[in-house]
A and B are shown apart, each in its own frame.
Chain A
């Protein structure tokens, strides 16, 4: 039994930390460039602290800091791409569109996003979507929002981050120290980042690009990112948005013409 524990521990130690992104795109997707107009929907952010026992306790001050940093990082990132961006900080910050319409679209996107997560990321693949890249749409509601605001794309953002509390880190230290006597718990976990971004083409209503970012360690106390700091937020935005790949059909054509 003890030997097995050690083996598992050794296996875990080789894979202690990771930053992972996985993106899907519409077959005909080309990353927006040049003079496009992007509407960033109110980012959904929450940051908490991992208690000794492993519960995530929400922290109001950290969440506020992370939201502010993320918005600033997004503005900076978009400025380099030449796009025309409007970031919604509240549901009513879109002139001429009532907050209820915005809320409806957010809820619709939430449902569609759940479906993408289930059928693209959780392994429940649908035979009807095989080989189709990303094949989901928000329909006419999104098109109408585009017509009303003159925007080309809408970006939906979700981010959560959590950090091990002092107690959790102490527990981790104890777990590693236990290795000496053969009770090895080097990876109790605690804290980590999870975020996703979803790009909707407001001319067609389709979700054209979707990316999920996971950054975390199995070792409590080691951070792979920190949304509470401007640098950490910029890093998350970079990981999430800066490596947008074109859709498969587009890539194949590019390869053929080369």
Chain B
């Protein structure tokens, strides 16, 4: 039940022409789900009573024990308080029951588990420009829990695999009796089963989008923020692919467990106008958001830049800078060039550091690298100043003694 991850083997494609036939049979047409139709299927304090759901909850409680004790979790109090407060606002009737964990994984993702605990990846916090965008993702995840998606998906899968198993066996026995080999038909049926499983999944994702939109609008957060998230994701994937001289992974829509980003974006845009109440003011909550993640933002940027995906990193920094450049963003812009290290990148990096130190919030490392670049360019007195500034800001840096020694020479 994650945002946009999928690993579906395309081996099933080997069924060849069967794909086309099956797609006609199951239909790949998709209908937008209206936010107004989305109501929570559970109330506060929900506990499962059905045998299958009880079993899954028990297993998931073990998973939560592992997740909550994982050393991948970000411990920063301000961040944790903030996301907990946010899921408390957009969690609908189950807001008080849900738990949320922030994991240090530099990837655009968030996951809701069947028992009502969510894991938000740090890469998501990096990319969100404001509270409304983050709330949109968290509300989407809440939607999965409120609409009981995991157990519904499980039951659907169980039913379909049951039918397939019985059908395959019956076809075989009938074929055997009639002296016909039915292997190909069975294979086709298998593909059909797979396709309907994915269809259900896509419907659930669309439901979660609609539910999420309704939840954030009720909280007075700007509904259009959710489709803007998809604008950003699509553009980032394109930028990353362009840099690597590849086409964005255009996964086959037929096998997508989630609706295509473009489809989601379009649906979210239309639905946003439906949930917008004329005359009401909607808020982005950008300041609140930035204040909450202030302590971890340098780490978020650092993790991204070190992924060695300059196309995506550059897009992210520039997108965040649409709300205004600052020392931190300029510094990491320089870092992207320095680490990319192509022809002319050292000059670009030097310019990035030089721009960063113009801002009061430039991190110490911006001064350090500014010094390094000036020293390389032979501008020694200026380099000396930059180094001194660095030492003043970070007197206990690991390389401080080395730089002090250099300054003495």
Q: Which A residues contact B (CB, under 8 angstroms)?
A: 1-2, 46, 48, 51-55, 57-61, 63, 100, 103, 107, 167, 171, 174-175, 177-178, 181-183, 185, 188
Contact = CB atoms under 8 A, between A and B. Distances in A.
Chain B CB within 10 A, most for which of A54, A175, A177, A178: A178
Given A100-B69, A181-B176, A53 B164 contact: yes
Chain A CB within 10 A, most for which of B51, B69, B175, B176: B176
Contacts of A175: 169
Interface string B234-266: 000000000000000000000000000000000
Contact of A171 (B52, B166, B176): B166
Contacts of A183: 172-173, 175-177
Given A174-B169, A178-B172, A178-B173, A51 B57 contact: no
A54 B162 CA distance: 8
30 contacts: A1-B181, A2-B176, A51-B161, A51-B162, A52-B161, A52-B166, A53-B163, A53-B165, A54-B165, A57-B52, A57-B158, A58-B55, A58-B58, A60-B51, A60-B54, A60-B55, A61-B54, A63-B55, A63-B58, A167-B162, A174-B170, A178-B173, A178-B176, A181-B173, A182-B179, A183-B172, A183-B173, A183-B177, A185-B169, A188-B165
B51 A59 contact: yes
Given A52-B166, A167-B162, 4 more contacts: A2-B176, A58-B58, A60-B57, A178-B172
Contacts of A107: 66
Nearest to B181: A1
Contacts of B172: 178, 183, 185
Interface in B146-204: 157-158, 160-166, 169-170, 172-173, 175-177, 179, 181
B56 interface: yes
B59 interface: yes
A171 B161 contact: no
B173 A174 contact: yes
A171 B173 CA distance: 11
Nearest to B61: A60
Contacts of B181: 1-2
Interface of B: 51-52, 54-59, 66, 69, 157-158, 160-166, 169-170, 172-173, 175-177, 179, 181
A177 B58 contact: no
Nearest to B182: A183
Contacts of A174: 169-170, 173
B259 to A, nearest CB: 25
Contacts of B58: 58, 60, 63
Nearest to A172: B169
6 A-B pairs closest in CB distance? A53-B161, A183-B176, A58-B55, A52-B162, A181-B176, A60-B58
A1 B166 CA distance: 22
A100 B69 CA distance: 7
B307 to A, nearest CB: 24
Contacts of B158: 51, 53, 55, 57
A55 B161 CA distance: 8
Contacts of B173: 174, 177-178, 181, 183
Contacts of A58: 55-56, 58-59
A58 B55 CA distance: 5
B159 to A, nearest CB: 8
Contacts of A51: 158, 161-162
Nearest to B183: A1
A20 B387 CA distance: 67
Nearest to A99: B69
A2 B180 CA distance: 10
A171 B171 CA distance: 12
B171 to A, nearest CB: 9
A70 to B, nearest CB: 16
Nearest to B48: A60
Contacts of A46: 59
Nearest to A52: B162
A53 B162 contact: yes
Contacts of A185: 169, 172
A48 to B, nearest CB: 7
A250 B162 CA distance: 52
Contacts of A63: 55, 58
Contacts of A182: 176, 179
Contacts of B163: 53
A57 B154 CA distance: 9
A183 B177 CA distance: 8
A56 B259 CA distance: 28
A151 B204 CA distance: 51
Contacts of A178: 169, 172-173, 176
A48 B55 contact: yes
A60 B61 CA distance: 11
Contacts of B170: 174
A176 to B, nearest CB: 11
Contact of B69 (A1, A2, A103, A181): A103
A52 B165 contact: yes
